[in-house]
């Protein structure tokens, strides 16, 4: 009897979780539709739903596993980046590569430095922890920007949109590299040399690019030459994207860059295959974003954020009003971009999932257990503040800078 009751309880719990997942998914879609109509960032709606379902919210669901969150985040980001690459034409990559590469390398370093120094000075923390915050918040989320720009109906130059889109696919590796180097300094007291940074950039960027281009080419050839059911082609592409991400990470290079470039290469598999892949991965990309932000919302405990809000908002102000503009103007002005284009690129540097994802990394080590709560909370607040302040004002900012309404 006890065994039967235990079995019934386990089955009921599984069924309840499936029901709950379905309901949260439906609510996420509804919230996304509503937020788009009112011009609000959809990612903010997904985060809010996750927080409402969490241990401080209505449902009180407990979720505090950083390793599980890192795994789910890795899977979701692999899908999101592959889908982003799939939608990026090779011509767009060529046209936007150099300014985007400048923002993704020099721009990330400048953002890290300026934000880190500002956080260290204003919040009275040591320089290295301040720089760690700067490195983690440096990556932008151009996917969110693209959705908001379509909703705002403003005519932004195609070149600028391409730069913002490609930047988001290229800037993650440098942030990851700087994050790990700064963690090494904090944990072991090791010094960082210019050679360490140069070798790290070469390994992350060149290694990730090689794996991504090779993997994407192989995937494109397979999709073009193998005779298979259309549904199997999408499964092959999804498995290939995850394999490229995993291989690049295991090899010590950038899985982010590799997966993004693999998506660009996979788009060259021919019109029939691309016509099947794009709708499938657009849906998978949305599903991945919903799962990722719901999970991150579940992971945070809202009442624990209160103590960190003042310091986090100070750091966010430095990032939005000082670090990002300095980095953008330093990178784009020498390349012939008009001041209003640089100003707009400065304002639309929204932060999304990657900074919160990177803030999980210190918590995966025993030495990081004591600092993970403050770091995670601070980055979470910074991302929410960025989505609220910048996300809700993209349309007015574009029109203020002279980009006409479509």
- Cα 149–150–156 angle (5° rounding)? 55
Residue that the structure tokens 């899977």 belong to: 75
Query: 353 pLDDT band (50/70/90 cuts)?
Result: confident
Does residue 366 surpass a pLDDT of 60? no
Q: Give the model's pLDDT for residue 394.
A: 83
Taking only the tens place, the pLDDT of each residue in 37-87 is 776 778 888 888 988 888 777 787 888 888 889 999 999 999 999 998 888
Does residue 373 surpass a pLDDT of 80? no
Can you tell me whether residue 52 is helix, strand or coil?
helix
Domains and CATH numbers, the chain: 14-400 (1.20.1530.20)
Query: 111 pLDDT band (50/70/90 cuts)?
Result: very high
Average the pLDDT over 174-192 and give the result. 78
Residue that the structure tokens 């592959």 belong to: 82
Taking only the tens place, the pLDDT of each residue in 283-308 is 998 899 899 989 988 888 888 888 89
Lowest mean pLDDT among 137-146, 153-162, 186-195, 324-333: 186-195
Residues 208-233 as b or e (16 or more Cβ within 10 Å = b): bbbbbbbbbbbbbebbeeeeeeeeeb
* Pairwise CA distance, residues 357 & 230, whole Å: 33
Cβ atoms of 172 and 139 within 8 Å: the answer is: yes
* Pairwise CA distance, residues 166 & 264, whole Å: 11
Q: Give the model's pLDDT for residue 247.
A: 96
Of residues 375, 371, 385, the one with CA closest to residue 314: 385
Q: Give the model's pLDDT for residue 270.
A: 74
Q: How far is CA 191 from CA 128, 182, 195, 363, in A?
A: 11, 9, 11, 22
Cβ atoms of 152 and 398 within 8 Å: the answer is: yes
Per the model's pLDDT, the better-predicted residue between 131 and 268 turns out to be 131
Per the model's pLDDT, the better-predicted residue between 262 and 402 turns out to be 262
Q: Give the model's pLDDT for residue 273.
A: 72
Contacts of 68 (CB under 8 A, 6+ apart): none
* Pairwise CA distance, residues 58 & 50, whole Å: 10
Average the pLDDT over 174-188 and give the result. 82
Q: Give the model's pLDDT for residue 316.
A: 93
In degrees rounded to 5, what are phi and psi of residue 349?
Answer: -80, 60
DSSP per residue over 168-220, as a string? HHHSHHHHHHHHHHHHHHHHH-----HHHHHHHHIIIIIIHHHHHHHHHHHHH
Q: Give the model's pLDDT for residue 143.
A: 62
Per the model's pLDDT, the better-predicted residue between 337 and 89 turns out to be 337
Per the model's pLDDT, the better-predicted residue between 3 and 17 turns out to be 17
Tell me how crowded residue 37 is: count the other CB atoms within 10 A of its CB.
9
Which of 143-152, 188-197, 244-253, 304-313 reaches the highest mean pLDDT? 244-253
Per the model's pLDDT, the better-predicted residue between 406 and 402 turns out to be 402
Cβ atoms of 27 and 34 within 8 Å: the answer is: no
DSSP per residue over 258-308, as a string? HHHHHHHHHGGG-HHHHHHHHHHHHHHHHHHHHHHHHHHHHH--HHHHGGG
Can you tell me whether residue 248 is helix, strand or coil?
helix
Does residue 365 surpass a pLDDT of 70? no
Average the pLDDT over 179-208 and give the result. 78
Q: Give the model's pLDDT for residue 84.
A: 86
Per the model's pLDDT, the better-predicted residue between 329 and 272 turns out to be 329
Query: 142 pLDDT band (50/70/90 cuts)?
Result: low
DSSP 88: S
Q: Give the model's pLDDT for residue 9.
A: 67
């Amino acid at each position: 009897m006890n065994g039967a009751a235990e079995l019934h309880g386990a089955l009921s719990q599984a069924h309840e979780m499936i029901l709950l997942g379905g309901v949260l998914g439906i609510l996420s879609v509804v919230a996304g539709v509503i937020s788009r109509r009112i011009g609000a960032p959809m990612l903010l709606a997904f985060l809010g739903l996750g927080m409402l379902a969490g241990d401080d919210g209505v449902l009180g669901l407990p979720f505090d596993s950083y390793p599980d969150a890192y795994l789910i985040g890795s899977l979701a980001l692999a899908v999101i980046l592959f889908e982003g690459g799939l939608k990026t034409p090779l011509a767009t990559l060529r046209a936007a590569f150099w300014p985007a590469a400048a923002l993704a390398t020099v721009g990330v370093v400048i953002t890290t430095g300026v934000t880190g120094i500002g956080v260290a000075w204003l919040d009275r923390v040591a320089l290295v922890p301040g720089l760690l915050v700067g490195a983690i918040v440096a990556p932008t989320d151009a996917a969110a920007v693209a959705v908001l720009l379509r909703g705002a109906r403003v005519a932004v130059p195609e070149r600028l949109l391409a730069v913002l889109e490609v930047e988001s696919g290229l800037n993650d590796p440098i942030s990851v590299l700087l994050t790990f180097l700064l963690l090494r300094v904090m944990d072991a007291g090791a010094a960082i040399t210019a050679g360490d940074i140069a070798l790290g950039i070469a390994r992350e960027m060149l290694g990730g690019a090689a794996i991504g281009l090779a993997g994407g080419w192989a995937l494109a050839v397979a999709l073009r030459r193998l005779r298979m059911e259309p549904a199997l082609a999408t499964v092959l592409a999804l498995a290939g994207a995850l394999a490229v991400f995993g291989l690049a990470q295991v090899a010590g290079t950038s899985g982010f860059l590799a997966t993004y470039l693999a998506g660009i290469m996979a788009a060259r598999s021919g019109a029939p295959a691309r016509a099947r892949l794009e709708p499938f991965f657009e849906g998978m990309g949305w599903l991945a974003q919903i799962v990722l932000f719901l999970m991150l919302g579940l992971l945070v405990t809202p009442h624990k954020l209160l103590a960190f809000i003042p310091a986090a908002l100070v750091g966010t102000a430095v990032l939005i009003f000082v670090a990002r503009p300095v980095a953008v103007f330093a990178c784009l002005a020498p390349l012939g971009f008009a001041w209003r284009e640089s100003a707009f690129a400065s304002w639309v540097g929204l932060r999304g999932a990657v900074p919160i994802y990177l803030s999980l990394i210190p918590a995966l080590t025993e030495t990081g257990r004591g600092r993970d709560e403050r770091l995670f909370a601070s980055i979470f607040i910074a991302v929410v503040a960025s989505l609220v302040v910048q996300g809700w004002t993209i349309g007015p900012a574009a029109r203020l800078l002279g980009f006409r309404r479509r």
